[in-house]
Structure 1
């Protein structure tokens, strides 16, 4: 996308408004907490101390509105503590010439590294930077620095107290995440009725998993209906895919297919009921037709793998309804004993060493988080120093604007930059006009500031421009209590906003982090993870007794995380003003789309096979584990081929699958096979699944091979690329795959 088109696209995105407002009760609660801090402090200590207290309460309130599954009071306390520390250090440094700029650069760098912990931590850390810039401009002695820092921290404490005393929809974020997962499964079941090869979006299940991780405080208070239902949803998903697939499930046409469509319709209704019950906390109400549809006799129509999948679906749905119906109000206050299946989220105290290790892990040259930290530090410091050269009293607004605009990716940075400038200009002009016309006193100015804070909380999801307008007006009213000309102050703030926004946008353009350049790496990680998932599933067929289900689960989580990273990188790359071929000449955007479909098919087939994994008492399927290992090595080599621009070669996998399928043919009939393999008993059903599944896996690999084939004339496009001279194809793949698995791809699982 050319630069002009990219700027036009991001500018429209930044000024776009969403029609829906936020939760008015939460907005009023956040503004009430600010009022409970600012008015008493104003009465007792005066406007300067009230400014510090209001800033702390407001930013702590912003932290509680972030997308996080941690307890809201803990977020407010953590934000208040960070604000207190940043304010205290800022006051100490501002009295020493030149030291504040050094502290500002170091704090901005640390705030940039905080993004490695997630967007919530990054936003809160950046807000502590803005508090340092605003509050330390107030002329006070070093002796009162601790008092201002305590007032900032007090704001966070009051926010936490108000949230605790006025709970609004406790566990609402967790309920919504789990309900969205069940609603997505209901939609998936309906789509499977008409498209047996439909894909399911794993994002709701990923979000539900993150929401299920609890702190020790949450574990003692979690409603029982939120414990265990996510695991049931994870098991329902492959069962739905297994019964609908024409290769491994019901026949493509005929009575069996019609019965499966009825089952899927009934399952969708029940899943919707479960989603509504989880979201609202109300008891589930059975629909009239769905239970009868699911309870009808299955065996006369269904048999084999479809019958097993149908029984599994009905059993899992019954288990989910049982979990909801068994809840009691008294159990809500009882501590829940932690089990091996509970996802533990570390408390704030234990999070500190984890955060330090995570941030230290980002100190590597190719880390985008490190790039963002360096860029944030440089941009904020440059904006601060340039603004000081102007001699304007409110020069700190330039650094504040730069800190709030800069983000780790191009689209957010430029859209926020344009929205920030527009919102600040409008907000400052409106608030300045009110001050000039009404001349409010300190109490009235505080009341107007609290009203603007409520508007900012309410419009957090409406658009950054509207929220910035409210926040700019709030700062004008808050700082308007201090001496100074109102019109001159408004002029200075607008000029400094323009300067800070320009420095941020130019800084990103000079030191960018292009997601386009990371697309090959993200593609390679997803390919490798999908191969490992298939290998883990096949290992369950090869050794049912010794197989560890956690290996399959871990591989599935890898696929989800790498898929999400690929899709995010592709979305961000689409808005960047960079030619795709400049950074990844071996794959075009069309090839990336085809590769996405091929990897999705590979993962879907593995999911279908996972749904039919045999019990521990079942007979092993000979050759399943070995074929899985070969497939994992081949996909790892294909991932390396994406990075190096060489063609992928799955001939060894295709040849091995043909030989293995011939061996498995003897497991489906009576009598001994030509190789002495058993031909009847429990192994026959599993052999039927892996025989069809391996054929689909090879088909997916063929589509992937064609999708990532380099264009003619590109480096490494020769057919012999990746071959070791003097070795057969199978051995060349084995050697190359082993080297890749040793760490060439750097594949990892974030947060799992």
Structure 2
């Protein structure tokens, strides 16, 4: 166990995903039913309607615009049906436990079908646990379901028709994050060692654009796709550029290197602004600045940096080129028969997902039963924590539990401070709406931040409804702690250890890296650039999975590991080193392909440089083959 790694994973954050504007739009949808209900004296109606609005707003963060619309509508309808079911069975302990088990298992299986289904399944479980735990009369079932549906539909209407955030904002933001990450890395030069730009922002951007293919493809998508492809080239070139930048600075050319970096940074910032407008071109003045900084890199001492900078300049200038005219082919839609067959296969206890569905259903049902038999006030928070924290993997359960506990601690502290200082009574609703805004704004940033904000929201909503102030925060904290402990205990008693799949995954990642290196080798002699890009994407995806799995293995008990973690760390380090080299060689090959006049006037690499690159490639190929053989032997 590595406590520092546990805290890093539990409280990780992505500041670039902060969404204050979208949060304001979503909070308006939550505020409308609450304020209307308070004005008419029907606070309970407002709580139900705002629940639908809150969930629909959270669903709006999922995917491209048209997909978001479908997910929001699907979420609103599902939450309405779940509310009806929860109110019908909520006063009967046996039925409540049975429904929680059946719906919990079903939502685990359906959530594996994709990101949208997973979003809906999590919110369905949350709504079912909370509404069934309130003990409201069954006569409210149909009116309550209608109120939840109305709140969700109003939120959907606000976010997609009345006040939409922007038709293609998800695609634009994803590509902008890629260029922002390149800007951050370039601004950090010089670096003491080899630079390997992280792959996650690129993978997320490709996923968003691939998702857009399933809906209406527009010319803007072609421009964004071209910008992302060229960003991949910039990422590859940055590996060699960082090394050359360090070399020329050591030779006393820091001023020239700094000027080149500044010109590239200006260009990357311009591109980010253009991308958010659906474009990806450089103004003439910025292009002139690039060529001016490049022309200052003269002499043999500056030659390494000049060549790499020339490649990056060419890629940035190529942003103004004509993108591919044809839209990429859409993947065939999945039929309902295929979906049902996939659900049947995943429901088997012979597969990990089926085992987790059974484990999840039992944990949720037994916890709800204990809460009911113990007559715990607001005990549904305990069941809710188990339902939210318990995941298929032990490490995900552990990190999510720690993140939720930390966020809840902060939320409880903030709530207690606000209640002590203001004793707000019904005015607590204003603090609750501010917390709802923070929940939305930080939803994609950090799970701990979201947990803290949603805790304040729930506490303030209960206080505004007349619940005693002193009991709310303490109960929330206690039940969160107990629920996290229950979820962790279930994971330990009925585990599916991730570390046991580590040798196989590392082997597949090494084989994919080997394939990528071989396609790069063919690219030097006129091979297909698209094949090299596809091989790079496959190798990157498996390498990212392997890195995540190695980190997870460090948090699992020693008995779960079949490969010594020192060997796993070494294998991952060698994979990353091979990736850095292959990216560098791939970027150099781009200087030779396609064979056309270079607008920057830069000549192709010399024969001696090409020979040295091929020797490095041969060494990397041998290392990857050795790694594959070593891991295959370790797995057996």
Q: Give the TM-score, by structure 2 length.
A: 0.76
Deviations 1:14-43 (A, max 9, x none): 689999995443333222111222333566
Whole-angstrom CA distance in 2 between matches of 1:484 and 1:288: 63
Alignment partners' CA distance in 2, 1:10 and 1:308 = 42
Aligned partners of 1:253 and 1:463: how far apart in 2? 40
Partner of 1:510: 493
Aligned to 1:103: 99
Q: Structure 1 residues 525, 690: CA separation in 2 closer, same or farther (over 3 Å shift)?
A: farther
Please tell me whether the aligned partners of residues 174 and 208 of structure 1 are also in contact (alpha carbons under 8 angstroms).
yes
**Closer, same or farther: CA 264–110 of 1 in aligned 2, 3 Å:** same
Q: 1:252 to 1:370 in 2, by over 3 A?
A: farther
How many angstroms does 1:105 deviate by? 1.7
Using the alignment, how far apart are the partners of 2:39 and 2:270 within structure 1? 53
Spell out the pairing of 1:217-256 with structure 2 (5 A cutoff). 219=217, 222=220, 226=224, 228-238=226-236
1:174-573 aligned within 5 A:
174-185=171-182, 198-213=195-210, 214=212, 219=217, 222=220, 226=224, 228-238=226-236, 267=264, 269-279=266-276, 284-285=282-283, 286-287=285-286, 290-293=289-292, 314-321=313-320, 340-342=326-328, 362=346, 369-370=353-354, 372-407=356-391, 408=393, 409-419=396-406, 422-423=409-410, 425-426=412-413, 437=423, 439-440=425-426, 444=427, 446-447=429-430, 449-460=432-443, 467-479=450-462, 495-538=478-521, 549-573=529-553
Cα deviation, residue 145, structure 1: 2.3
Hey, what's the Cα distance between the residues in 2 that align with 1:597 and 1:224? 31
Question: Does residue 51 of structure 2 align to residue 55 of structure 1?
Answer: yes
Equivalents in 1 of 2:156, 2:224: separation in Å?
24
Query: CA 1:77–1:687 in 2, change beyond 3 Å: closer, same or farther?
Result: farther
Change (3 A) 1:296 1:352: farther
Task: Provide the C-alpha distance between the structure 1 equivalents of 2:408 and 2:264, rounded to a whole number of angstroms.
Answer: 51
Picking from 579, 595, 616, the partner of 2:574 is 595
User: What is the rounded CA distance, in whole Å, between the counterparts of 1:187 and 1:438 in structure 2?
Assistant: 44
Distance in 2 (alpha carbons) for counterparts of 1:708 and 1:216: 36
Contact 2:499 / 2:560 at 8 angstroms: preserved in 1? no
**How many residue pairs end up in the alignment?**
619
Which residue of the other structure, out of 147, 152, 156, is the alignment partner of 1:156?
152
Structure 1 stretch displaced more, 477-486 or 53-62: 477-486
**Could you say which structure has the higher helix fraction?**
2
Give the whole-Å Cα distance in 1 for the aligned partners of 2:105 and 2:485: 20
TM-superposed CA distance for 1:53, in Å, is 0.9
Q: Tell me which residue corresponds to 1:82.
A: 78
Write the distance in 1 (CA, Å) between the matches of 2:91 and 2:65: 40
CA RMSD of aligned residues (A): 5.3
Q: Partners in 2 of 1:66 and 1:434 — Cα distance? A: 37
Q: Does structure 2 conserve the Cα–Cα contact (< 8 Å) formed by 1:70 and 1:215?
A: no
Task: Give the 3 Å change call, closer, same or farther, for CA 403–693 of structure 1 in structure 2.
Answer: same
Q: Using a 3 Å threshold, how does the CA distance of structure 1 residues 500 and 296 change in structure 2: closer, same or farther? A: closer
| Bigger Rg, which one | 1
Normalised TM-score (structure 1): 0.66
Q: Distance in 1 between matches of 2:578 and 2:345?
A: 29
Residues 455 and 191 from structure 1, CA distance in 2 versus in 1: closer, same or farther, beyond 3 angstroms? closer
Greater relative CO (CA pairs within 8 A, separation 6+): 2
Aligned to 1:622: none
- Offset from partner CA, 1:135-155 (integer Å, 9 cap, x none): 234555656423322322222
Q: How big is each residue's C-alpha offset from its partner over 1:648-676, in whole Å with a ceiling of 9 and x where there is no partner?
A: xxxxxxxxxxxxxxxxxxxxxxxxxxxxx
What is the CA distance between 1:174 and its match in structure 2? 2.9
Q: Which moved more, 1:688-697 or 1:312-321?
A: 688-697
Using the TM superposition, give the Cα deviation of residue 132 of structure 1 relative to its aligned residue in structure 2, in angstroms: 1.1
Q: Is the 8 A contact 2:498 2:549 kept in 1?
A: yes
